[in-house]
Chain A
Amino acid sequence: MTARRALIGLAAVLLVALPLWVPGNYDISVGSEILIYAIFALSVDLLIGFAGLVSLGHAGLFSLAGYTLAVCLGAGFGQPAAIALALAVALAGTAVFAALSLRTTGVGFIMITLALGQIMWGLAYRWVGLTGGDNGISVSARPAPFGISLAVPSHFYEATLIVFAGAVFAYRVFVESPFGASLRGTRDQPRRMTALGYNVWMIRFSAFMVSGLLAAIAGILFVFRAEFISPPTAALTASAEPVLMAISGGSGTILGPIVGAALVELVKNVASAYISRWNMLLGGTFVVIVMFMPEGLVPGTMRLLRRRFGARPPAPVVAAGTAERKPPP
């Protein structure tokens, strides 16, 4: 446990000091990007890992917040008002997403979220009057809280880190709370949970709202970082990326999606310097991870470490349906 604390402390120091040990402003900016996508990946994994619901439409919520922010800033709103409006609109959109997609679970949920995400993409792309269509919207100014200009990359990075740390802390409290336990229960045995007195639908809906809030925060940070938003932000690829981050890093954990986000974003940045085949890489990684490492990198590595250090092997993960012995008739 102390080793774990030390590791977390070390990671925190490294993260805070990142502007000092990476070569340049571009790398600091990549650091911010990773943190933003880590929040986004956590948002998506709250549903995948803890509610058992795979959303392929979260880029719709991410970009809804981003577009609202960009449009409001363009219309002359102040920064705080624009941020508040972006959060409010994204939460309203999340409520609609959740109300519709929670009509079903499993594969139906995937299909509906995908379709809803595509609606947002279609709006971003076609509603030229509002979104600028293909040209997107540029945002000229980053906020300057307490007089500190976030236009400086390292300042923006530290501000993002503060939001990220807050989000991770809240996320941890959330998943270890009684509500988090209820949510996991609905993932494993929804029918049983109903019989025990839980309102399964409302639990899922609430989790979806929290997930939407995180996606909106990530979307707002994204627009401030890029100072630009355009339809690809809402595309299916953009919805698939956080899913990949979550399942590659390790779904249902906190560290997993963060590590996944770092890996995917690093690969994306490195790869894009050499080849323009990001989609091929993304798709290929998806196939390989799902086929060969379905548990994700973090739990997989943890298991290897644990075995290496001779601790008791973890219980075999038994699927809900196979743990039961059918009584003889």
Chain B
Amino acid sequence: MWTILAINSVTFGGLLFLLSAGFSLIFGLMRVPNLTHGSMFMLGGYIGGSLIASWHLPFWLAALVAAAAVAAFGGVMERFLLRRLAGSVLAQVLVTLGVAFMVSDFSLMVWGGDPLSVDAPRALAGGTRALGVFFPTYRIAVILIAVAVAAILWAMLDRTRLGAMIRAGVDDPEMARVVGIRVSRLFTIVFCLGAGLAGFGGVMGAPILSVYPGLDFAMLPLALVVVILGGAGSLPGSLVGSIVIGFIYNFGLVMVPQLAYFILFLPMVLVLVLRPQGLFGRAAP
């Protein structure tokens, strides 16, 4: 019972990481909390689910196509809406919120009000029994994928030129501009990347959470909380924040189901009171 709960918590944490890593990077770099992020997660789930159900695409191919589609959507949004409002963060936030409402209604129109359930790939269905505990294969796979994505992201940020530019932009956008980094192109890349990750996370989450109207605004606050916990633009922060929230949410659901959503936000409150810049964020000078 507790072991399976723990596995579920880590799995949910992994999904949250896929969601919040991009949110955190976008927020860290552009200072814009992308309120469309939950919608991108949901959109990914719907697109991937439809590709699997109606087009009979293999699960992984569907996941990649969905991620690419959502990344493209993110790119369009950044280029044609956010770019025009450069300099006014408030306006940008409100636009992302407006787009989120539109996506929510659009999805309702296309996919209807019933949840779309997606089967896990057949190879990963079922589970293994070891040491008297049942390990569901798909959930373990999601954990591994999240770890792999974290490793790839970390390597990308730490080892590549693009990563160095992103880090410079997160640390000090002014300075990045001064040393000749094309910040505007960086914004587009990071926005696409974050959107794609969220879309990919949506497909990964579909067999576990299913995809339903309202998933977008259920996931969005979780991304906010993870970033408030972990600090903006911090990859380790996102990872730890995601796992913490994964545990609190799953254990909360079992132990105090009526207040699960409420206790989810308690760590955020604590962090805000004790350490406003987030667990891993740097202190402001």
Contact = CB atoms under 8 A, between A and B. Distances in A.
Q: Do A and B come from one complex?
A: yes
Interface of A: 54, 56, 100, 103-104, 106-108, 110-112, 114-116, 118-119, 121-123, 125-129, 235-237, 240, 243, 247, 277-280, 282-287, 290-291, 294
Given A283-B98, A291-B85, A116 B272 contact: no
Chain A CB within 10 A, most for which of B90, B108, B220: B90
Contact of A104 (B81, B102, B276): B276
B261 A119 contact: yes
B104 interface: yes
Nearest to B276: A103
Contact of B31 (A100, A103, A107): A107
Interface in B238-285: 257-262, 264-265, 268-269, 272-273, 276
Contact of B101 (A110, A115, A280): A280
B5 interface: no
Given A110-B33, A291-B95, A286 B101 contact: yes
Contact of B262 (A122, A247, A280): A122
A98 to B, nearest CB: 12
A123 B261 contact: yes
26 contacts: A54-B90, A100-B272, A107-B31, A107-B32, A107-B93, A111-B224, A111-B228, A116-B265, A118-B261, A119-B261, A126-B260, A127-B259, A127-B262, A240-B97, A277-B109, A279-B105, A280-B106, A280-B109, A284-B98, A286-B95, A287-B98, A290-B98, A291-B84, A291-B95, A294-B88, A294-B91
Interface hub of A123, A243, A280, A294 (most chain B Cβ within 10 A):
A280
B156 interface: no
A125 B260 CA distance: 11
A111 B276 CA distance: 13
Contacts of A247: 94
B89 interface: yes
Contacts of B94: 54, 243, 247, 286, 290
A54 to B, nearest CB: 6
B21 interface: no
B276 A129 contact: no
A58 B15 CA distance: 29
B258 to A, nearest CB: 5
A267 to B, nearest CB: 14
Interface string B210-239: 000000010011001101100000000000
Given A287-B81, A290-B94, A279 B224 contact: no
* 7 tightest Cβ-Cβ pairs between the two chains A and B: A122-B261, A286-B98, A283-B101, A283-B102, A279-B105, A280-B105, A118-B221
A287 B95 contact: yes
Contacts of B43: none
B149 interface: no
Contacts of B104: 279, 283
B36 to A, nearest CB: 10
Contacts of A126: 257-262
A208 to B, nearest CB: 15
Chain B, interface size category, equals 35 or more
B85 A290 contact: yes
Given A108-B276, A115-B224, 18 more contacts: A103-B273, A106-B89, A107-B32, A112-B268, A112-B272, A114-B220, A115-B221, A118-B221, A119-B265, A122-B261, A122-B262, A126-B259, A126-B261, A243-B94, A279-B108, A283-B98, A286-B95, A287-B99
Contacts of B220: 114, 118, 236
Contacts of B225: 115
Contact of B100 (A111, A116, A283): A283
B109 A54 contact: no
B261 A286 contact: no
A247 B272 CA distance: 28
A129 B90 CA distance: 38
Contact of B102 (A100, A235, A243, A280): A280
Contacts of A116: 265
B33 A107 contact: yes
A121 B227 CA distance: 20
A49 B76 CA distance: 31
Contacts of A100: 269, 272-273
Contacts of A286: 94-95, 97-98, 101
A127 B276 CA distance: 29
B34 to A, nearest CB: 11
Contacts of B108: 279
Interface in B25-64: 27, 31-33, 35
A104 B268 CA distance: 14
B273 to A, nearest CB: 7
